[in-house]
Copies of this chain bind each other. A is one copy, B any other.
Amino acid sequence: MKPNSRPSAGRLLYAQSGGVTAVINATAAGVIEAARARGVPVYAARSGILGALHEELIDTGKESKAAIAALRHTPGGAFGSCRYKLKSLEAHRAEYERLIEVFRAHQIRWFLYNGGNDSADTALKISQLGKSMGYDIRCIGVPKTVDNDLAVTDCCPGFGSVAKYTAVSTLEASLDVASMAETSTKVFILEVMGRHAGWIAAAAGLAGEGADAAPHLILFPERVFDEAAFLAKVKATVERVGWCTVVASEGVRDRDGRFLAEAGTRDAFGHAQLGGVAPVLAALVKQKLGYKYHWALPDYLQRSARHLASRTDADQAYAVGQAAVKYALAGMNAVMPVIVRTADAPYRWKIEPARLDKIANREKKMPKHFISRDGFAITAAARRYLAPLIRGEAAPPYDKHGLPNYVQLKNVAVTQQLASFQES
């Protein structure tokens, strides 16, 4: 078979990679429904690329139409995800040979890898196997990350929903703080994800507009933490408004490049306490300004809150899944369906293929002009960019017990045909 001809038969393999999101399963639904519509059977790899290496495959054909449709409103990763990066072809040829062996054993002709920039790199490497190893495989990267840091695409499926969660939570908690400020909490600090890029923290800015509206300060990893300026602005806000809401990226660093989260707290055993820039800031506010504080760290709650998903995000997540199947079956290789914004107001978008080598291993930071001069707020340009991404609601159906009706797939294993494999 010629490497560039469209395989006339075979299966499509789909896998989820990296941190999961509220809508990655919507992408899975898009993939499976599009493939089913074209008569192409879909296997899913259990726990991302690891499932492919270990021949732990799931036959999605055993799932009902209703179960696959329910993926569209179920958070988490229905087939399991993983944090595992394939090394170079030169360094770990055995792993690539194993993948080809598994693909061949199960007639996998199309591989769709759903993840962030590391996963795009993996997808790119696999897309090149056809030439170097003589097996005809088409590989499509499918975008996903709450960090919103993928290159080329205007935004990343998963981000809009965590952005909406962050904006709504900031608004709600601030109403609470405002009520209590007279005799109780004056400063509230919300810590959000974002180790390298402040996209999620920026989204909190959508909760309100104007100097007196919460959040009053946003701390970005893109800006060095300036303790004096921070304390001065918190103090001025409390004196003017009566209270103050701060939203901080977990990745905020000091002048020496150290994470604030690590600089501060020690656990009971004297180890540096990770994942807590909020308590460090709270202690600072208490010590230097004397204000009563509260802080919150929603952690996984923020990226799994499917109950509060953005409609824009849920729609885009589904659309990239559908497009990925279309591209794969059309014979495309080494591309990713990306979101192209064609208008801000009214917001319009479309899906286009982009080359994986333009995306793999790159990281999109917040543009400088999205952060205000004082470093504590978002600009009008950031607001224009972010606003459409949290628009619209996509509530899941609820059952009679008052819980969202999330689906649990059967995940029927495909019979293994190969000897076991130990990754290096």
Contacts and interface: CB of A to CB of B under 8 A. Distances in A.
A138 interface: no
A271 interface: yes
A16 B391 contact: no
Interface in A318-369: none
A379 interface: no
Contact of A80 (B80, B182, B271): B182
A304 B206 contact: no
B294 A275 contact: yes
Contacts of A171: 403-404, 406
Interface residues of A, number: 84
A112 to B, nearest CB: 17
Contacts of A301: 169, 172-173, 190, 296, 298, 301
Interface in A174-189: 175-185, 188
B168 A403 contact: yes
A224 interface: no
A266 interface: yes
A50 interface: yes
Copies per assembly: 2
Interface stretch (A58-66, A94-102, A229-237, A279-287): A279-287
Contacts of A300: 172-173, 176-177, 185, 188, 294, 296
Contacts of A188: 300
Interface stretch (A33-41, A126-134, A392-400): A392-400
Contacts of A172: 22, 75-76, 300-301, 304-307, 404, 406
Contacts of A50: 182-183
Contacts of A82: 180, 182-184
A295 interface: yes
A392 B402 contact: yes
A304 B175 contact: yes
A164 B402 CA distance: 8
B183 A406 contact: no
Contact of A298 (B185, B298, B312, B402): B298
A184 to B, nearest CB: 5
A304 B173 contact: yes
A83 interface: yes
Contact of A390 (B176, B265, B305, B401): B401
26 contacts: A47-B182, A80-B178, A80-B179, A80-B180, A80-B182, A81-B180, A83-B184, A84-B183, A167-B402, A169-B301, A171-B403, A171-B404, A172-B300, A172-B301, A176-B303, A176-B304, A206-B401, A206-B402, A207-B403, A264-B268, A265-B265, A265-B279, A266-B266, A268-B284, A295-B297, A393-B402
Interface of A: 16, 19-20, 22, 47, 50, 74-78, 80-84, 164, 167-169, 171-173, 175-185, 188, 190, 206-207, 263-269, 271, 273, 275-276, 279-280, 283-284, 287, 294-301, 303-308, 310-312, 387, 390-393, 395, 398, 400-404, 406
Given A20-B180, A80-B182, A265-B265, 5 more contacts: A268-B280, A269-B287, A294-B299, A296-B301, A298-B298
